[in-house]
Amino acid sequence: MLSEASNGEALLRRAETRRRWSLAMPALIVIALFSILPLAVMVVYSFLTPGTYGNVVWQFSLDGWFSVVFERDLFDDTLGLADAHLSILGRSALLALATTGLTMLFGLPTAWFIATRPVATRAYWMFLITVPFWTNLLVRTIAIQEVIRADGTINRLLLGLGVIDAPIQMMFTNGAVLLGMTYVYLPLMVLPVYAAIEKFDFRLAEAAYDLHASRFYCLRRVIFPLIRPGIVAGSILVFIPALGAYVTPRLMGGGRAMMWGNLIDLQFGQGRNWPLGAALSVSLTLLVMIALVLSVRRFAGGGRSDV
């Protein structure tokens, strides 16, 4: 009887497993077709030879990966670092980190303000935060571009007040790219931080005040550790797209503030070096994966140390 019961339970478990796989199959197929397969194509292309007018020649070559970091001199064929690629990578990483920092700086107070409003009005404030998602990224970038260009709102205001005599050049700089990406990605920081603050038990902060803790100490030792998951999630949601941003740096930075995504587009377009573009794309994916793993491990370690 026991063996029959165990066999019956095993059959039920196998049937449940098959049912779960059948339910998950559509999602797995979508992930395979639109995520894994394109990435696999890029990986294959990165090990091929560039064609004369774009495309690839089906001949194995490591030149694409080699050119990501190194380059040969046109005259004496000496080997050196690809300074242009490395400088663009450094600029991309710094701007992505700065964007994450600025969105955190503005997003934390915004999320705290919304979470401390009466329950009946929180939906209204969240509605205002999500309104930018209703418009295309290109439209939002052009909107902020209209504010800081030579004849934009800021320059017209400063000229009207007599503060400046000539328009300030703000477009096509790293600062313009940083401003544009901060504006575009700010909601991605506010939403997860708000979700974490909404679950925060404010009685803990009141208890800290009753025990004569300063505001800064309460913020650092009570509030931050409990809302850290939202901060980490928001930082990841901002840093990853900011590192590979294309539209905002293209419009706000022009050719002076090129980022990694613009470099990839250049290789697939004007450069007609598809293996190098594929290698740059896969390199960006690997960098994002490394940053994601390090942030998750750092968060997990920090979470254990605070207990």
Stretch 185-200: mean pLDDT: 93
Distance, CA of 191 to CA of 235 (rounded, Å): 11
**307 — pLDDT class (breaks 50, 70, 90):** very low
Give the residues across from 71 on adjacent strands.
80
pLDDT of residue 35: 85
Type of residue at 293: V
In this prediction, what percent of the chain has a pLDDT beyond 90? 47
pLDDT of residue 17: 86
Q: Is the dihedral of CA 197, 201, 206, 209 positive or negative?
A: negative
pLDDT of residue 107: 94
Q: Look at residue 10 and tell me whether its pLDDT is greater than 90.
A: no
Mark out the alpha helices in the chain (DSSP H runs): 2-31, 37-45, 63-69, 83-115, 119-130, 137-148, 153-161, 174-198, 202-210, 215-218, 224-243, 247-253, 260-268, 274-306
pLDDT of residue 3: 65
Stretch 183-204: mean pLDDT: 92
**260 — pLDDT class (breaks 50, 70, 90):** very high
**4 — pLDDT class (breaks 50, 70, 90):** low
pLDDT of residue 301: 53
For the chain, domains (ranges, CATH) are 82-306 (1.10.3720.10)
**214 — pLDDT class (breaks 50, 70, 90):** confident
Three-state DSSP state, 79? strand
Q: Look at residue 302 and tell me whether its pLDDT is greater than 60.
A: no
Measure the N-to-C terminal CA separation of the chain; round to a whole number of Å: 48
Distance, CA of 29 to CA of 31 (rounded, Å): 5
Nearest to 236 by CA among 293, 159, 173, 152: 293
Highest mean pLDDT among 95-109, 163-177, 288-302: 95-109
Q: Which residues contact 290 (CB under 8 A, 6 or more apart)?
A: none
Q: Look at residue 186 and tell me whether its pLDDT is greater than 50.
A: yes
**256 — pLDDT class (breaks 50, 70, 90):** confident
Question: Per-residue pLDDT tens for 29-53?
Answer: 988 888 889 999 999 999 999 988 8
Stretch 158-184: mean pLDDT: 91
Stretch 97-109: mean pLDDT: 95
Stretch 86-106: mean pLDDT: 94
Q: What is the mean pLDDT of the chain?
A: 88
